[in-house]
Chains A and B, each alone.
Chain A
């Protein structure tokens, strides 16, 4: 069983549109949406939720005002500035429980935190595991690890060949969590200076965690000078460029129709994504 994770560094380069098309092209796979705090893959794949599970993760401090003597020790010691006027701001609290351990009158208790939901679903393309992190919650890395682990179990049980995961933007905790141990990372970039800058950082993260990387250039015709920059960067780093996908309104039109672009209509974009999937099969 092989696991492909699609990343980008910079947001909005086309990860989800490409993953949705892979869903239509790949055989014997499970799909995972690892972008748990702004998930979009479900808008195209329209999953039928089979299992809705609560994601309880971490704790949050709560001060019992009847017991509190307002001594101020918790406020003084909290490194996350989560306590002010003897009240806890749950969006700042990191659940370390330091305050509850040092409160001289035991006025602080730690409450379990409902941090989101995760789902096992059926789509017309096969099973899908996805999640929704609660608004302003943390621990997205743990939720990503959980959806990946569920996808692995499904792949094992159903004898599937591929796990295809739509990764989050950035290079921090959810990215690291979606990346570690994957068979191959596909980094989707665009020929903008921002895209190139962010490509370099996400490639470095993949290397840091020893995951093989290949690159695709989306909307390559926006700026062909920048495409040459990307090409020379990839050459110097020994990275294979697996596709050059043109800008095409068909991508947005397909999204509005709720279809993978390869199923929407024959277009240069859908032909390139077809070729890209074939390259991925060869490389993974």
Chain B
């Protein structure tokens, strides 16, 4: 079962929830943790994994053989990303703009284009005290996180429980991370920003046809509008974590909630059991 932990708004506690969920389950399930926030991966700070393997992530970008090239311009014409320009006696490749679709090399009439890997990040994996751990890191200065996220997700082993930590927002990296999950936990806070971004996140998971539930973090501040919204939309609020300086302090030191305050373990186990019930009953009102 794959459970994605997302939020819309940043800093609501995704990593706090995801890491504590993973640790709480490791005694009874085979647990794998995938940190798909490849722009700013943080789960390793909490899980302190021993990394045993790493693999570079690259996308295929064109390389033009100038001996074969006739400068016909076909490659530039088919590239919608404007990553190739053909001049009279030159071909310029802007590999930062290339999405690696492969159209230019396939359609070159002279077969003058081969493809070479362009490095854009790294995937690392290993173990963290009984939890299998995988994360990806986008290279600083690179714009496209999706290929790195895809590589992290290739490591998912559906036989056990897979917890996916997602980046904030609602655009392509978030979609890439939560696609194919059985359930999406949306972590939010009871503030106007938290609500606004929760609504966007709910629309995103619904578009992907994935059932969701809410974790309300920092309960006690703000207002009651997140709970009202969840009630109206029939979205279960599955766990509530209060605003508490002790919890904030643990987080600041890179200590997971369940390690610092072991009483919380039963809440996370309960959260997992509730997710299991929803997934197995298929009680969500939208098709997968």
Contact = CB atoms under 8 A, between A and B. Distances in A.
Interface of A: 8-13, 16, 35-40, 43, 58-59, 77, 79-80, 91-92, 94-98, 101-102, 133, 135-138, 140-141, 168-177, 190-194, 197-198, 201-202, 204-205, 208-209, 222-223, 226, 249, 252, 255-256, 258
Tell me whether chain B's interface is mostly helix, strand or loop, or mixed: loop
Nearest to B10: A11
15 contacts: A10-B40, A11-B12, A35-B169, A37-B169, A37-B171, A38-B10, A58-B80, A98-B106, A141-B143, A169-B40, A169-B167, A198-B40, A201-B39, A222-B245, A256-B222
B223 interface: yes
Interface residues of B, number: 60
A192 B192 contact: no
Contact of A12 (B11, B175, B223): B11
A11 B11 contact: yes
B138 A172 contact: yes
A113 B254 CA distance: 42
B40 A170 contact: yes
List of 4 A-B pairs having minimum Cβ-Cβ separation, nearest first: A11-B10, A12-B11, A96-B101, A170-B39
B205 to A, nearest CB: 9
B12 A12 contact: yes
Question: Max chain A CB contacts within 10 Å: which of B11, B42, B207, B253?
Answer: B11
A40 B39 contact: no
B221 interface: yes
B45 A136 contact: no
Interface of B: 7-12, 15, 37, 39-40, 42, 45, 60, 78, 80-81, 99-103, 106-107, 138, 140-145, 167-175, 179, 191-193, 196-197, 200, 203-204, 207-208, 221-223, 245, 248-249, 251-254
Given A40-B193, A135-B204, A256-B223, A194 B45 contact: yes
Question: Max chain A CB contacts within 10 Å: which of B8, B193, B203, B207?
Answer: B193
A10 B101 contact: no
A125 to B, nearest CB: 18
Nearest to A205: B140
A205 B245 CA distance: 32
A223 B254 CA distance: 11
Contact of A256 (B9, B138, B192): B192
A223 B209 CA distance: 41
Contacts of A140: 171-172
Contacts of B174: 37
B119 to A, nearest CB: 15
B108 to A, nearest CB: 12
Contacts of A173: 143-145
B192 A43 contact: yes
A102 B9 contact: no
Nearest to A177: B143
B106 A255 contact: no
A95 B106 CA distance: 17
A150 B266 CA distance: 52
Contacts of A193: 42, 45, 252-254
Contacts of A92: 179
A197 B15 CA distance: 14
Question: Max chain A CB contacts within 10 Å: which of B107, B138, B172, B204?
Answer: B172
Given A198-B40, A223-B249, A256-B223, 6 more contacts: A96-B81, A98-B101, A136-B204, A137-B172, A172-B39, A204-B141
B140 A138 contact: no
Nearest to B45: A193
Contacts of A94: 99, 101
B102 A91 contact: no
A197 B106 contact: no
Given A98-B102, A194-B254, A258-B192, A133 B170 contact: yes
